Structure 1
Amino acid sequence: MKHGEKIGVFYAAFSYIIWGVLPVYWKWLSSVSAEEILANRIFWSFIFMLVLLAVTKKWKVFLQTLKDIKVNKKVFLSLILASLLITANWFIYIWAVNENHIVETSLGYYINPLISILLGVFILKEKLNKAQIISFCIAAIGVLILTISYGDFPWISFSLAITFGLYGLVKKMIKVDSAIGLTLETMTVAPLALIYMIYLLFTSNFSFLNGSLKIDFLLIGAGAATAIPLLLFAKGAQRIPLYLLGFLQYIAPTIMLILGVLVYHEHFSTAHMIAFICIWTAAIVLSIGNSKWFISLTNRIKKDKSFSA
């Protein structure tokens, strides 16, 4: 592995580790409502990104990007949609963690790549390879087992996977630097977040600046906790192959699962185990199927068959 790839693996793996342990951060804020945490997360992420743009001297690029988006209606609407989707994803995630559904959130991020595949098929008209078809069928069996066992559809998992999958799809239409992209997205919804925070202030339900320095620092820190892993991920993704990124992405939900079961003692039944084994198997099949090694191997087999024929 080249030096650049090693650095890329470090950045990407570290970003997924941070995402994996984020439930602990939201648990520290369990005394605050999910709506207020979300509003603070949006607002302080926006402030953090403005400071970062100033430090990294990207203001000119940011302002130019803003001008370009204003005259491009399609990109402008895509930005609004991306902002709403990531806001919905953040809210569901924060709410689920603080309502003791960490195991379900981990399932959501395990099945996210499969949801992205489906979106590619139905929206971008992409064709599935055999590995993708097999992995999707295995994952579907796991989800079906879990649904029958619960007697209820795992809506938290699918809401997280679908909102993040759609967010990724929309982001393809907004080809901008990751730091500028996050600044634009948080800027779009920051006014709503600020209005809600002011409303809480006047109704005496505001947790921020209400006596607990720990809560104040955690709410402000939500901005950095949001931005830092995203920026690390962007740096890592630039340096390593897509198949390797595919393997690394399962670090975060694995850590979430361990936290949910071993640290926060959430319910984990036999049905959960069977479902997760199916999801893990599907993830392995999908990752191997998308690897350069597997693709080159299948191409060689096809060539050998054509020669023998």
Structure 2
Amino acid sequence: MPTPSSSPSQKHSESTIGLFFALAAFTFWGLCPIYFKAVSAVPALEVLSHRILWSVLLLAALISVARQWPLTLGILRDRKKLKLLLVSAILIAINWLTFIWAVSNERILDTSLGYFINPLVNVLLGMVFLQERLNRGQTLALLLGLAAVCYQIMVMGSIPLVALILACSFGFYGLVRKKVSVASVPGLAIETLLLLPLCLGYLGYLALNQQSNFSGQTPDTALLLALAGVVTTLPLVWFNSAATRLPLSTIGFIQYLGPSIAFMLAVFLYDEPFNREKLIVFALIWMALVVFSLDAWQQQRRRNL
């Protein structure tokens, strides 16, 4: 008799491996502020340039190991996909630059808020651009998120600009990547490759003017900047490994681990101010995410019946 392609024990094993990779990826992303704090003396634009440079080299190595060069070159020959990837490259560069600047300027709480808001932004973008209908749970979650933003503007007298830029840039990035529909590693490799000429030009300018932190500072700084590629690429590889093994609903729940860790780092390790007003803003967002997550869980249960 033919053996089944995947037994229940094999499926369980794959799910366990997927869960491990998901936890590793989102834990790593949550701990990323520690790395960017370590290079906070370096201007954010220079850190971003190194992040792109070393990511290109590491991603090229990964593509070689995975034998994905034919796929990657095929994407490079497709003008329509290349234009969309240029847009997504600009969006991810904005996201990365904002995050690096925020961490360096003691705004880790704002980055945490941004990534908590991101799932709500994704729902809103789906409604506006993909004609997806919102149910009652999603609508309530969006209203709670909007209430949090309005509260900060009216009571605290400030717009949560960092959080909104991070949430919206990553939301639009996901929207564009959904439209272009390419594998994650080759897609990110092409995005960083498109940004590379500008980064090399900027790093060259710094070197010529003896302003480079890579060559002008201690070896420790140079090593940390070179590690930017690993910091960028490693969690992405783990995430891809998880995404092929776990349902999207499971990954949706685990994704809150990243901003939760960043939140705890900001409050308990870096002593960022966390007053009653900020607590109310976060509480409203957390309520929105509880509603959103319960709704997603119920929808998944109905689909499985």
User: Whole-Å Cα distance in 2 between the matches of residues 296 and 183 of structure 1?
Assistant: 37
RMSD: 1.6
1:52 is matched with 62
Aligned counterpart in structure 1 of residue 152 of structure 2, from 146, 149, 152: 146
- Confirm or deny that 1:42 pairs with 2:52: yes
Long gaps (5+) in structure 2:
1-10
**Structure 1 residue 58 displacement after superposition:** 2.0
**Structure 1 residue 62 displacement after superposition:** 1.8
User: Whole-Å Cα distance in 2 between the matches of residues 45 and 256 of structure 1?
Assistant: 23
1:167 is matched with 173
User: Whole-Å Cα distance in 2 between the matches of residues 184 and 16 of structure 1?
Assistant: 23
Aligned counterpart in structure 1 of residue 85 of structure 2, from 79, 86, 99: 79
User: Whole-Å Cα distance in 1 between the matches of residues 103 and 231 of structure 2?
Assistant: 16
User: Whole-Å Cα distance in 2 between the matches of residues 106 and 168 of structure 1?
Assistant: 18
**Structure 1 residue 54 displacement after superposition:** 1.8
2:267 is matched with 261
User: Whole-Å Cα distance in 1 between the matches of residues 217 and 255 of structure 2?
Assistant: 39
Aligned counterpart in structure 1 of residue 21 of structure 2, from 11, 14, 19: 11
Note if contact 2:30-2:261 (Cα within 8 Å) is conserved in structure 1.
yes
2:4 is matched with none
Question: Percent of aligned pairs with the same residue?
Answer: 36
Deviations 1:182-211 (A, max 9, x none): 101100101110000001111111000224
2:245 is matched with 239
1:307 is matched with none
Report matched runs for 1:109-124 at 5 Å. 109-124=115-130
* Change beyond 3 A, Cα 1:205–1:135: same
Amino acid at match of 2:293: S
* Change beyond 3 A, Cα 1:299–1:29: closer
2:3 is matched with none
User: Whole-Å Cα distance in 2 between the matches of residues 117 and 110 of structure 1?
Assistant: 13
Amino acid at match of 1:101: R
**Structure 1 residue 143 displacement after superposition:** 2.2
DSSP 3-state at the match of 2:214: coil
How many residues in Structure 1 have an aligned counterpart in Structure 2? 295
**Structure 1 residue 96 displacement after superposition:** 0.5
User: Whole-Å Cα distance in 2 between the matches of residues 76 and 186 of structure 1?
Assistant: 12
**Structure 1 residue 52 displacement after superposition:** 1.5
User: Whole-Å Cα distance in 1 between the matches of residues 268 and 119 of structure 2?
Assistant: 25
- Confirm or deny that 1:191 pairs with 2:197: yes
DSSP 3-state at the match of 2:215: coil
- Confirm or deny that 1:26 pairs with 2:36: yes
**Structure 1 residue 149 displacement after superposition:** 3.0
Amino acid at match of 1:54: S
Deviations 1:247-273 (A, max 9, x none): 101000001110111111101011111
DSSP 3-state at the match of 2:213: coil
User: Whole-Å Cα distance in 1 between the matches of residues 301 and 264 of structure 2?
Assistant: 35
**Structure 1 residue 228 displacement after superposition:** 0.7
Note if contact 2:52-2:196 (Cα within 8 Å) is conserved in structure 1.
yes
Amino acid at match of 2:245: R
DSSP 3-state at the match of 1:100: coil
User: Whole-Å Cα distance in 2 between the matches of residues 287 and 80 of structure 1?
Assistant: 32
Amino acid at match of 1:246: G
User: Whole-Å Cα distance in 2 between the matches of residues 117 and 278 of structure 1?
Assistant: 17
TM-score, length basis structure 2: 0.93
